[in-house]
């Protein structure tokens, strides 16, 4: 990022961002906490919490009734749908809210699967989180659908694109692919994958949960039919968002109550929604848009993500170079020169992933460990028993915090 850009927009600087996140003040063992657990869920700016508490304290109601707080709830949901539409580059009536990405994907897969059976094929990938595997795998047992998993090259962290082409043959109904890997940081060329699937007549489902905090989703550019993400990964509360093409959202045979609305997007939303989280997701999108410049919210988001990407690229290079230089440390996934997010996973010889996470926590450096439900990836890396350690840089991460991470790991390596 250029000096002039940050001078004009102090909100774009890491310092300008950090003041909005009260949890960054937390101390542990006498030191300020450095949060590297963003891929599991980011910290939340005060404006998100304020919006949620304002909703609960002043507007709390169920939806759809005639009295003011219910009307306000409906208006808040509509406004949030528009914010989420701007976030994914879609339309407000194409946005479905739900508990999280996993529940939304199970729900959608069940509905789509009601029209599929023996002889039909769904293609998934070994690189994906199991939330983008299990809902489709269930259709094997429930509907007799054949599920094919595209091979991951564990050494490079990349999908085998020839294998994808080979698997996209016959009666392929759907390709389910992640925009980025939550275990390795790999960024997939979603546009190319969706184009390949489309050419065979398949519809496409994109898991943008890991990519969304790093790469602004763009359903138009991806050319996908469905996309799911989760606000708690991009500085919002715990809620999932599904975008879909209206004709599909209106026709998919999802389980629903007869008296519930039968028009999209409402027909995919089960029961009473977490209105406070819907309000919080809106505030998170507005917070991110507020970091950038532009005439529309989408333009501001595009600008903000460009600036954040530039900074996170520098952080991932620092993390990768520092960690991979340490004796006994193995880093996984694409090199920083390739398309990747600022999520770096690694192991330290002679230590379980939990030991590493505990030792770093002593230094107030918070990292996650295990398989992150990307179980197939971790199995293919040969670390099913002990898991791996994952450190993710977010919009509030500083080079100084990365130094502390590297120093903490260095103290363990030999």
Ligand X SMILES: Cc1ncc(COP(=O)(O)O)c(C=O)c1O
Residue 387 touches ligand X, criterion: CB under 6 A: no
Q: How far is the CB of 101 from ligand X (least distance, A)?
A: 4
Q: How far is the CB of 136 from ligand X (least distance, A)?
A: 13
Which residues 286-345 are close enough to bind ligand X by CB under 6 A?
none
Binding string to ligand X for residues 176 to 215, with x set by CB under 6 A, is what? --x---x------------------------x-xx-----
Find the shortest distance in angstroms from Cβ 342 to ligand X: 14
**How many angstroms separate the CA atoms of 190 and 332, rounded?**
21
Closest alpha carbon to 199 in 169, 243, 159, 161:
169
Cα 363 to Cα 408: distance, rounded to the nearest angstrom: 7
Nearer to ligand X, 215 or 307 (CB): 215
DSSP structural state of residue 151: P
CB of 234 to ligand X, least distance (A): 11
The rounded distance, in Å, linking the Cα atoms of 395 and 91 is 27
Within 142-181, which residues bind ligand X (CB under 6 A)? 178
Helix-helix angle 101-113:134-143, to 10 degrees? 30
* Tokens matching residue 332: 């996984």
Tell me if the bond preceding 398 is cis, omega within 30° of 0.
no
Site for ligand X in 225-284 (CB under 6 A): 230, 240
371 touches ligand X (CB under 6 A) = no
366-370: long-range pairs with CB below 8 Å, 24+: 366/33, 366/34, 366/35, 366/36, 366/37, 367/36, 367/37, 367/391, 367/405, 368/36, 368/37, 368/39, 368/40
Site string for ligand X, 56-95 (x = CB under 6 A): ----------------------------------------
With contact defined as beta carbons under 8 Å apart, do 40 and 368 qualify? Answer: yes
Question: Per-residue string for binding with ligand X, 104-143, x by CB under 6 A?
Answer: -------------------------x-xx-----------
Q: 24 or 131: whose CB is closer to ligand X?
A: 131
Interface residues with ligand X (CB under 6 A) are 100-102, 129, 131-132, 178, 182, 207, 209-210, 230, 240
């Amino acid at each position: 990022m250029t000096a002039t850009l940050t001078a004009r927009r102090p909100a774009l600087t890491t310092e300008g961002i950090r003041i909005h996140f009260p949890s960054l003040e937390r101390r542990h063992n006498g030191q300020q906490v450095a949060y590297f657990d963003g891929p599991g869920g980011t910290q939340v700016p005060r404006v998100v919490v304020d919006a949620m508490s304002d909703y609960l304290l002043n507007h709390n109601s169920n939806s759809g009734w005639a009295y003011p707080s219910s009307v306000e709830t409906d208006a808040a949901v509509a406004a949030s749908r528009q914010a989420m539409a701007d976030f994914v580059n879609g339309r407000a009536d194409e946005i479905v809210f739900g508990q999280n990405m996993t529940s939304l994907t199970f729900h959608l897969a069940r509905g789509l699967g009601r029209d599929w059976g023996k002889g039909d094929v769904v293609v998934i990938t070994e690189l994906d989180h199991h939330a983008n595997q299990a809902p489709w795998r269930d259709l094997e047992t429930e509907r007799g659908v054949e599920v094919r998993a595209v091979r991951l090259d564990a050494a490079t962290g990349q999908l085998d694109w020839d294998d994808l082409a080979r698997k996209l043959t016959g009666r392929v109904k759907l390709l389910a692919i992640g925009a980025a890997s939550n275990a390795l940081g790999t960024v997939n060329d979603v546009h190319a994958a969706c184009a390949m699937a489309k050419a065979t007549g398949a519809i496409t489902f994109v898991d943008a949960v890991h990519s969304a905090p790093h790469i602004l989703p763009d359903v138009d550019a991806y050319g996908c039919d469905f996309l799911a993400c989760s606000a708690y990964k991009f500085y919002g509360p715990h809620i999932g968002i599904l975008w879909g093409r209206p004709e599909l959202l209106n026709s998919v045979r999802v389980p629903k109550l007869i008296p519930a609305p039968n028009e999209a997007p409402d027909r995919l939303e089960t029961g009473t929604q977490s209105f406070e989280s819907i309000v919080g997701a809106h505030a998170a999108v507005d917070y991110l848009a507020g970091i950038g410049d532009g005439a529309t919210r989408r333009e501001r988001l595009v600008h903000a993500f460009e600036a954040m990407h530039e900074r996170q690229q520098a952080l991932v290079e620092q993390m990768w170079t520092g960690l991979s230089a340490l004796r006994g440390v193995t880093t996984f996934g694409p090199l920083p020169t390739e398309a990747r997010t600022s999520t770096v996973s690694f192991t330290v010889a002679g230590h379980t992933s939990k030991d590493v996470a505990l030792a770093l926590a002593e230094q107030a450096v918070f990292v996650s460990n295990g398989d992150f439900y990307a179980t197939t990836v971790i199995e293919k890396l040969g670390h099913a028993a002990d898991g791996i350690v994952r450190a993710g840089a977010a919009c509030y991460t500083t080079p100084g915090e990365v130094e502390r991470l590297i120093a903490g790991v260095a103290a363990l390596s030999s």
